[in-house]
Chain A
């Protein structure tokens, strides 16, 4: 181990966390407008309070709370198993990560280990979720730059993945499938063929998207050079996931701290160097392809027999010994985590959900927006890939 570098010295420019000086709106020189909370160019119900000098944004303030449902508070008053109806609603496009992390946290705190086959099926579920979520994101990003063909393709194709979820779990969005101790039931008969069929179609679709979107002159012109995140900002602002990898930061929890069966799967961390909206989009496109590859590997390698559930206590009267843990997984936006504290009762003492949007949508967004043209704010917002519910919880 080499001697640690002095952090402050290496990040001096990025460590300027000062807020911009308020402008004199009565001067008539500036205009204040709101982007959201109801606007097609936003990523869910949040809003940006923008101060403009001409077309240029000079100040941005993120406002959240429109989707606040007090999930963390609700969980303190329900028993462990009841909370499964709550956790999946914290990130609408990716409920599976919440299910998995909540289950994994409870398992760790209570000393339960999910059987191997359940771990393979959980990994499959998470990668299908990643695929569905990226499909939605690709549509959002191209739409934000005025390319309305691609969203029609991807949102429609996401539905095929949701069909698979319906078959696998009985539900399309909120599955409540990964429960403590394993998964609720086995894969249905003929599932492999249908998965392969959808993956073959997804492969072809991504080829088309690459041609139509990534080679499109408008998309290139509007996304290249937009929202460049300098390398020095990554740690000081807690930037994770594709937003960091597009800047050349080779970090992915699936590789760095493998969970489930990721250490038995072949994949590389996708990175880029330009760190602009185009680079982030390209990283996500490659990660979507990678997700298809992982799903295929899982279908080929997973054990076909064996238990799906560990032996569990009566979950209606389940008491978990006092403890504390922080479990995390790599979702489409980076580190997603559950901090959980138990106190020996039937109720969780504290749960804190750590979503990547917390920093990406507020401190990073506010910093990146300054100096951006008003026409590009929707594209920038989508390129940071944020989900407001995981901020408000």
Chain B
């Protein structure tokens, strides 16, 4: 880790009380910051420290501890190094400050995290729009307690299969109130 990054981390410790600083490899350092300081910290890294590229935002579900760890991966193109900003939030009524004003793709990540983990980002654009899952009504599927095999068995079954005449079946689907009468 270069002296510059060490100096930066010292300052972040002082100003934002970051903890659990870990050098994962020569190009990647991660640390944890409180939810309250996260948005200001990320903005400062972008505006003042040249961490201008957002690689991704994701979430790790630590169900045993009752927390989600949000990860904001930021890249500094001048130094070719990355900082992984970790933010812990509670799993119950999970909510995080929206950062959609910082990068153009953030609202998409937040929309995905709402759908897949049930995390709310108040103020984030189009948050309620479906991302991948149309009409999903179960628990958010990337949560650890979601059982894919059980869901599959319950919804799609593995018993006897049946078939329908495709054209007639689709007519009923399209015009359910008219018993499949397209006219």
- 8 Å CB contacts to A: which residues of B43-60? 46-50, 52-56, 58, 60
Contact (Cβ within 8 A) B73 A339: yes
* Contact A237-B47, Cβ < 8 Å, known A19-B125, A257-B80, A349-B60: no
Binds A, one of B22-30, B89-97, B153-161, B173-181: B22-30
Contact (Cβ within 8 A) B101 A17: yes
Binds B, one of A71-79, A160-168, A269-277, A375-383: A71-79
- 8 Å CB contacts to B: which residues of A1-49? 1, 4-8, 14-15, 17-19
- 8 Å CB contacts to A: which residues of B2-60? 4, 22, 24-25, 27-28, 30, 46-50, 52-56, 58, 60
Chain B residues near A235 (CB-CB < 8 A): 52-53
Q: Which of B56, B100, B103, B141 has the most CB of A within 10 A?
A: B56
* Contact A19-B126, Cβ < 8 Å, known A65-B134, A359-B104: yes
Contact (Cβ within 8 A) A350 B104: no
Task: Give which listed residue, B4, B48, B56, B132, contacts A1 with CB less than 8 A.
Answer: B4
Task: Give which listed residue, A257, A349, A354, contacts B55 with CB less than 8 A.
Answer: A354
Contact (Cβ within 8 A) A325 B107: no
Chain B residues near A374 (CB-CB < 8 A): none
B119 within 8 A of A: no
Contact (Cβ within 8 A) B104 A64: no
Contact (Cβ within 8 A) B25 A17: no
Nearest CB of B to A357, in Å: 11
A5 and chain B: residue at smallest CB distance: B50
A367 within 8 A of B: yes
Number of A-B contacts (CB under 8 A): 114
Task: Tell me the bound Cα distance from A328 to B49 in angstroms.
Answer: 22
Task: Tell me the bound Cα distance from A238 to B71 in angstroms.
Answer: 16
A257 and chain B: residue at smallest CB distance: B80
Task: Tell me the bound Cα distance from A288 to B82 in angstroms.
Answer: 29
Q: How large is the interface on A (under 10, 10 to 19, 20 to 34, 35 or more residues)?
A: 35 or more
Q: Which of B53, B106, B134, B148 has the most CB of A within 10 A?
A: B53
Contact (Cβ within 8 A) B141 A363: no
Task: Tell me the bound Cα distance from A121 to B144 in angstroms.
Answer: 37
* Contact A363-B132, Cβ < 8 Å, known A6-B47, A73-B141: no
Contact (Cβ within 8 A) B47 A65: no
Sample of 22 A–B contacts (CB below 8 Å): A17-B100, A17-B101, A64-B132, A65-B132, A65-B134, A68-B132, A68-B133, A77-B148, A238-B55, A256-B80, A257-B80, A325-B25, A337-B56, A339-B58, A349-B60, A354-B73, A358-B105, A362-B108, A363-B107, A364-B105, A367-B104, A392-B132
Seen from chain A, the residues whose Cβ lies within 8 Å of a Cβ on chain B are: 1, 4-8, 14-15, 17-19, 64-65, 68, 70, 72-74, 76-77, 108, 233, 235-238, 251, 256-257, 323-326, 328, 335, 337, 339, 341, 349-350, 352, 354, 358-359, 362-364, 367, 392
Contacts A17-B106, A256-B77 known; 20 new A-B pairs at CB < 8 A:
A1-B78, A17-B100, A64-B132, A70-B148, A76-B144, A238-B55, A238-B103, A324-B30, A326-B82, A328-B55, A339-B56, A350-B60, A350-B61, A352-B58, A352-B71, A354-B73, A358-B105, A362-B105, A364-B104, A367-B104
